[in-house]
Structure formats: C-alpha cells, structure tokens
Amino acid sequence: MAGPARSRHPPEVPSGRLPLHGAGGSLALDVALPIVPARSLRERLLGGGRTRARTDRTVLVLHDVTKEYPNGRVALRDVDLVIPEGDFVFLVGPSGAGKSTLIKLLIRDELPTRGEVVLDGQDLARIGRRNVPRVRRKIGIVFQDFKLLPRKSVWENVAFALEVTGTPRRRIRPAVDRVLALVGLTAQARQHPHQLSGGEQQRTAIARALVHDPRLIIADEPTGNLDPLISWEIIQLLLRINELGVTVLMATHNADVVTALRKRVVALEEGRVIRDEVGGTYHRVD
Amino acid sequence: MIGFIAFSLRRAWQGFWRNAVMSIAATATMVLMLLLLAGFWILNTGLLAGLEYTESKVNIVADLQDNATEGQVRDLVARVEAMPEVLRVDSISRDEALQRFKASRRAQREEDLTRFLDSNPFHASIEIFLTDAELYTVVQNRLCSEPGPTGKGCAEEPAIESVKNQQALVDNVVTITNVLQTAGAVVLVVIGLIVLFIIVNTIRLAVVARAEEIEIMRLVGASDAFIRWPFVFEGAMVGVLGAALALGILGAAADPLSRFMFDFFRVLPLEFGGLTRDVLVLVLGAGIGLGVVGSWVSVRTYLIR
C-alpha cells in the first residue's frame, strides 16, 4: 500500500489500473448526508430522555462515549458520532487508536464506561443481556480474516448465520440464495473455503453478514489480507450494498481506497475523534 | 421448541462428527475414566461386603445355667430377640455344643477326646447376632454386667451362667472395618474427583478448539440457548457413547473376572444383581452428567457478558 507521502497528493483514483466497474455510479452517488453536530442531532432524535425514539434516518449514535478498560487503559475518550442511514463511513487511524474498541462497543461486546451507544434507537447499555442477540442481528460484521468455518461449504457458512438464530428452514434457502447471488457466488455455493480465493472468501463473509438484512455493516479491515486488485472488488461490493440502502462502517488502513472514494472519513487517534469530514481523504489535507 | 431441540440435536451430531478427532479423544477419555470409576466402585463394593461379612461373624455367646428350665430359656430368647440391636438368636443345646466340638476336632484332624468323658461338659448357650458389631458392649451389658446374688451367674438374667468376653477381639474387628470403610470411601471420592476434572477438561479442550465457531455464532446474533444447547447435547452424546463402551467392556470382562474371583465370591455372598444395577446407573449417570456439566461450564466462558 502507498505510504502517507503519496496519499497526501490529491486523490488519484487508480481507475486506469483498477477495474472500477460500476464504481462510477457509486461515486456519483456520493452526496453524503450532511454532518450534523452529534449532540444536536441526538438531542433532536432522543430529546426528552426518550431513548426509544427512533427515526428512519439514524442508524448509530455515539454520545460522549468513553471506554476505560479495567487495566486503566483509556481506549476511547468523549467520542461523539452520528451515522445516518445509508451512509458509507471510513473509520481510520493508527493501530491502537480505538477502532477495535469502537467496534466492540457497537456489537455490545463491551459496554462504555461513560456515555451512550444508541443503535437503531436502542441504548445498548440498557437493552439487557437477553436482547443482545436481537441487536446483533441488526449488524453484519466482516473481518480481515474472514472467519469462515472451514468444514462448511459457502452455502452452509451463510446459512449458518440464519440457522443459529432460529430462522425456520423454509426461509433459509431463499435468503441464502439471494445473498449469494448478490455477492456473485452462486456458482461457488458448494465449495469449501479452502477451495476459494481470498476475495471469494471475503465475499462469502459479506454474504453471511448480509443474510440477516442488517441495518449496518461493520467491516473491520476487510481488505487487509487481500491484494490491491481483489481489495477493489471487495470495496465495490460494499459500495453496491451501500447503494441498496445498507449503512456501511469500514475500518481500514487502506489509504488508496479511502482517498480515492472521497466518502465520509472519521479519524481516530488516541481514542479521540480528531477528524470527521465528508469527502475526506485518508490523511488530513491541510 | 421442537424445532429448537431438533436444531440442537442436529448441530450436536454434526459437531461430533465434523470434529471427529477431538470427539474421539473425548470419548476415549470418557471410557477410560468411567472404567476407572466403575472398577473402584466394584472394588469398594467387594471391600464393604467383605467387611460386612467379617462383622456378621461377631456374635455374643451366652452360656446358660444347666438348671435353667425350657420355659426360662424360651423367655430369655424372646426377650433378647425383642432387642432392637439383635438380628437373630440361635439356641444351642448341650448336645449340639458337644457335636460342634467333635466336628471341629474332626475338621482339624485331631483326636476326639470326648469319648473319655463321663458326661457332657458343655453348657447350653445362645448365640446372639447383632445388627452392628459396635453394639456388642450395649447388648453384653444388658445381659450380664455384674454377677448374680450368689457371686456367680448374671444379675440381669438369672438363666445365663456367663457371657464370653470377646470385647478386645470385637474392638479390633470394628476398628479395622471402620478404617477400611473410610479408606475405601476416601479413595472412591478422590477417584471421582479425578474423573470429574479430567473429563470436564477434555470436553473443555474440545469446546475451546471450536472457539471460532462460537465466536461467529455470537457475532451473527445467536442467543445463548442456541450456542449452549448443541454443545450440551454433544457432551451428553460423548457421555452416552463413552458409558455404552465402558459398560460393554465391563460386560465382556465380567464373566472371566467373576470366574477368576470365584473363591472370593463363594465365601462372600455378594448380591450381584444389585452391583450390576449400581454400576449401570453409576457409569451412565456419570458419563451423561459429566458430559453435560463439562459442556455447560466450558461454553459459559463464551456467552454474552
């Protein structure tokens, strides 16, 4: 990947080298929603202390979130973040900046020490253990290492997400077939992960993340293990999913991609949001 | 609900076979541990039966006055039999006592000296079998704690001439049986704990090997029940399979083993039916119980905090 020096230049969309089929469409769509100051939006949405107030416009609100681990390390400090529905957000920052902690808070693997994390109108600290699985089904999560089950076929890996959440079998087949078609893996449905390329494995993981019809896709370094060409394929797929109305939050170190796409960029450093701009680049352009 | 159970059973079955190496290792450990447990259980049962047999040989022999009437003896026997500590009372006449003595001389290939006697020197007696050897002193004192008014016989029971004092012997027997009983119980508990920890740990290993699968289930929004029960059923499966194999091995070994220990069992009238049932319940119960507990505990680590 390119170093910081190179990506300080104006975004060179590497379209000459990279097959951005259809990406033009998504770039044209890039009229990202205006950034509303987190506090005021939250007040408007949740005013009067009604934590259940829900609109169709906001998927995620972080309000004044601080996370301190028992060992005293403060991973996040006073983070305010509002992600409207349909947004495509890059989460950038050096290792240890708090990206992983942020993701853990979103899937309620951790609870904030202070502040609120409101997903789809629900304060995650108040939902109770029993409701955690239901909230997690509103999120599809994709990892750098794919996290596929090696002994299951592509189809089974995707179906697994529905099976273990108690979906009736008659509804599993059409849902899995639909997402596999969406990610272009219908032909590979019977293959096992070791028979697939890295890109195909990641597309399987994306299909699995999508099969619940989530409100939000969290992609944690989805291109970290892939070569640049395949990385762009995955990014395109995420853009297409975003076009279909699914909000995407992608944590990445891939400066080329961030800078080229000019989406909303939230930069974390030492646990603070140091930058939140629409049409941003990987590094701050002064 | 039925759908959930069907799902859990299907997942347990798949989980078992798709992780065959781990499952077989867990089952093999289960079999060995259950054999160990059952083996010690059988040994302990044998030990207890032996001790019981030894204790049952402890009895109180009370010699009767030669002039005691039949009615007096009948009353005495009835009174003694009514005591809660007493299992049964055998009455031995003077003739029977003489015959027994002759028989024991013959058995020892010693010359029968009684033919030189003018009359039968033996007293009639009663043999009192106790429910528990430790009650020896209680019963003995009730029969004869002090001499009668003439300085002979017993104050409590005039029909009794004397009670043989075997206190020291009885004390020894009681001490030894108590020590052995306690030791047997302690060994069994220790073996039980070893079996518990090894099986739970083995199942834990099998669960940890699938941490990623559990992680994925959590992330896609599986509820605790959907994560836990397939593993619990799988643990139960390992338990049933392990118990069945262990019982098969025990069943196959029972015949040659009992022939080998024929003499032992001839002396000790062990209740074999009871033992078979106990071992069956123990092995199946321990197998399934430990499989379920092991899985339950191991999966808990991964559930929602």
Average confidence (pLDDT) over B100-112 = 84
Tell me which of B303 and A33 has the higher pLDDT.
B303
The mean per-residue pLDDT over the stretch A170-197 comes to 94
Instruction: Measure A249 CA to nearest chain B CA, in Å.
Output: 16
**Residue in B246, B281, B254, B285 with CA at minimum distance from that of residue B35:** B246
pLDDT at A281: 83
**pLDDT at position A5 over 70:** no
Which one of B216, B218, B231 makes the best mutation probe of the A interface by having the most chain A beta carbons within 10 Å?
A: B216
A151 contact B CB<8A: yes
Residue B2 tokens read as: 């039925």
Q: What is the pLDDT averaged over residues A256-265?
A: 91
CB–CB contact A133 B219 (8 Å): no
The amino acid sitting at B112 is: D
At A267-279, the pLDDT tens digits run: 999 999 999 999 8
**Contact (CB, 8 A) for B86 and B129:** yes
Residues on chain B touching A136 (C-beta within 8 angstroms):
218-221
pLDDT at B266: 64
Q: Do A224 and A193 touch, CB atoms closer than 8 A? A: no
The stretch A248-267 carries a mean pLDDT of 92
Burial of B252 (0-12, 13-18, 19+ CB in 10 A): exposed
- pLDDT at position B183 is 93
Closest-CA residue of A relative to B216 is A147
Q: What is the pLDDT of residues B162-181, one digit of tens each?
A: 888 777 888 888 888 889 98
CB contact under 8 A, A160 and B7: no
The pLDDT-based confidence of A23 (bands split at 50, 70, 90) is very low
Residue B129 predicted with pLDDT over 80: yes
- List CB contacts (< 8 A) between A139 and chain B: 221
Q: In the CATH scheme, what is the code of domain B59-165?
A: 3.30.70.3040
- pLDDT band, residue B212 (cuts 50/70/90): confident
- How close does chain B come to A84, measured CA to CA in Å? 22
The residue with greater pLDDT, B224 or A35, is B224
Residues of chain B positioned with their CB less than 8 A from the CB of A132 = 304
- What is the spatial distance between Cα A77 and Cα A74, in angstroms, rounded to a whole number? 7
A231, two tokens: 């990385």
What residue has token string 């030189």?
B116
- Cβ distance of B216 and A107 shorter than 8 Å: no
**What's the whole-number average pLDDT of chain B?**
86
Q: What is the pLDDT of residue B265?
A: 63
What pLDDT is attached to residue B269?
58
Smallest Cα distance from B234 to chain A, Å: 16
- Whole-complex ipTM: 0.74
Q: Which of these, A262, A260, A250, lies nearest to A224 by C-alpha position?
A: A250
Angle ∠(A108,A111,A113) on CA atoms, nearest 5: 160
A3 pLDDT above the threshold of 60: no
* Mean pLDDT computed over A4-18: 37
Q: CB-based contact (8 Å) between A11 and chain B?
A: no
Contact residues on chain A for B222, CB-CB shorter than 8 A: 133, 164-165
* Chain A contact present for B216, CB below 8 A: yes
Task: Give the closest of B216, B223, B305 to A147, CB-based.
Answer: B216
**Neighbouring C-beta atoms of residue A173, cutoff 10 Å:** 12
- Closest chain A C-alpha to B21 CA, distance in angstroms: 14
Q: What confidence score (pLDDT) does residue A286 get?
A: 64
Tokens coding B265: 């069992």
Closest partner residue to A166 (CB to CB) among B4, B212, B215 is B4
CB pairs A-B closer than 8 Å: 56
**Res. B156 pLDDT band, cuts 50 70 90:** confident
Interface test with B, best of A119, A164, A216 (most B CBs within 10 A): A164
B226 in contact with A, Cβ within 8 Å: yes
Beta pairing, strands A272-277 & A114-119 = unpaired
pLDDT computed for residue A45 by the predictor: 32
The span from the CA of B59 to the CA of A212, in Å, is 79
Residues of A with Cβ-Cβ distance to B215 under 8 angstroms: 147
B299 close to A (CB below 8 A): no
Mean pLDDT, rounded, of chain A? 81
B103: pLDDT strictly greater than 60: yes
Q: Is the pLDDT of residue B59 over 80?
A: yes
| Residue of higher predicted confidence among A267 and B207 | A267
**High-pLDDT (> 90) share of chain B, %:** 23
Minimum distance, in Å, between the CA of residue A90 and any CA atom of chain B:
21
Please name the residue of chain B whose CA is at the shortest distance from the CA of residue A213: B220
B3 band by pLDDT with thresholds 50, 70 and 90? confident
Which residues are within 8 A (CB) of A56 and not within 5 positions of it... i.e. 6 or more apart? Answer: A85
CA distance B218 to chain A (A): 7
CB contact under 8 A, B219 and A130: no
pLDDT score at B51: 82
With beta carbons less than 8 A apart as the criterion, state whether A207 and A196 touch. no
> With an 8 Å Cβ cutoff, are B218 and A168 in contact?
no
**Residue A267: strand pairing partners:** A92, A275
DSSP letter at A7 equals: H
Higher pLDDT pick, A284 / B182: B182
What would the pLDDT profile of B221-277 be if each residue is shown by its tens digit?
998 889 899 999 999 999 999 999 999 999 898 888 777 777 666 666 555 567 888
Average pLDDT over residues A132-148: 92
- Residues A74-120: tens digit of each pLDDT: 999 999 999 999 999 999 999 888 999 999 999 998 999 999 999 99
Q: For B50-54, what is the mean pLDDT?
A: 81
> What is the pTM assigned to this prediction?
0.71
Going from N- to C-terminal start, the domains of chain B cover: 2-53+173-300, 59-165
Q: How far apart are CA B125 and CA B127, in angstroms?
A: 7
Name the residue facing A149 among B213, B221, B304 (closest C-beta). Answer: B213
In angstroms, the CA B91 to CA A250 distance is 97
